[in-house]
Amino acid sequence: MNYEIIVIDISSTIETQNVVIEEFPKVKLLPFKDNIGYTKGVNEGIKASSGEYFLILNPDVIPLKGSVERMLDYIKNHKEVGLIGPRLLNFDGSKQDSCFRFYTPLTILCRRTFLGKMPFGRSVLNRFLMKDEDLTKITDVDWLMGSAVMASKKAIQKVGLMDEFLFLYFSDVDWPKRFWENGYKVIYFPEAQMYHYHPRDSKGHLGVLDLIFKKEARWHTKDALKYFHKAGFFKTTR
């Protein structure tokens, strides 16, 4: 297949630029001096692309042989699909959670506090993680982890780019929501598999105290509040 590779290099240095320029001369490099965040980085890559389909990959993702081709074949032959994501694997081969139902504020509370260890909290999180679905099969899902997704240009032209109001987190929740709202399906596609190193930078071991000691946790919470506000959770009737 014909393809192009675009590297979005945030907080770029001359050393990383030289590696790409010297070792991978066919790659299009877009260096940014500042940390522009995941969301704007994805948007800049899409705007610089010329293809009909976009594969968005984090730098810590390694596709298994044939996975990209299988995803492309599926989305090409299912015009109702606007966004598709593979089965993500840890490096020991175990399955990684990468498709979900939409967040509620209760989901966040259960994930960041002791409630998640209680029977009620576990039930909330199991539903969020789609534990009641057979995820060995191709499945309609609410949203996909943004580490590895493929979208069609036609769908994005209708849906729009990611919302840069969300700096790092929740743009990969908001975007699929908008795909659904615009009549496109979001598909979990386990016939394609990719390794993903997923440290979950926003989650430490201190519960709500992570908000004090981890900047990633603060970013996550700030973007969560923005997302819920946009989604209407905090709107009041006047």
133-174 tens-digit pLDDT: 999 999 999 999 999 999 999 999 999 999 999 888 899 999
Q: Determine the CATH number of domain 52-231.
A: 3.90.550.10
Asked if residue 9 has pLDDT above 50, the reply is: yes
Residue closest to 51 by CA, chosen among 75, 34, 70: 75
Residue 214: pLDDT band (50, 70, 90) is low
Q: Higher confidence at residue 221 or residue 81?
A: 81
Six token digits for residue 15:
């050393």
Q: What is the mean pLDDT of residues 64-88?
A: 98
Residue closest to 206 by CA, chosen among 119, 125, 113, 107: 113
Asked if residue 84 has pLDDT above 90, the reply is: yes
- Do residues 198 and 144 lie in contact, with contact meaning Cβ atoms separated by under 8 Å? no
Residue 238: pLDDT band (50, 70, 90) is very low
Most confident of 50-64, 106-120, 205-219: 50-64
Q: Rounded CA gap, 110 and 114, in Å?
A: 7
Q: Higher confidence at residue 106 or residue 159?
A: 159
When mean pLDDT is compared across 68-77, 89-98, 159-168, 195-204, the lowest value belongs to 195-204
Residue 15: pLDDT band (50, 70, 90) is very high
Give the pLDDT score at 210. 53
Q: What is the mean pLDDT of residues 77-97?
A: 96
Q: What is the mean pLDDT of residues 214-222?
A: 73
Percent of the chain with pLDDT over 70: 90
Asked if residue 80 has pLDDT above 80, the reply is: yes
Give the pLDDT score at 108. 84
Max intra-chain CA distance, the chain: 60
Strands, DSSP E only, in 24-107?
28-31, 53-57, 61-63, 81-89, 99-100
Asked if residue 236 has pLDDT above 80, the reply is: no
Six token digits for residue 152:
């069609």
Q: What is the mean pLDDT of residues 109-128?
A: 92
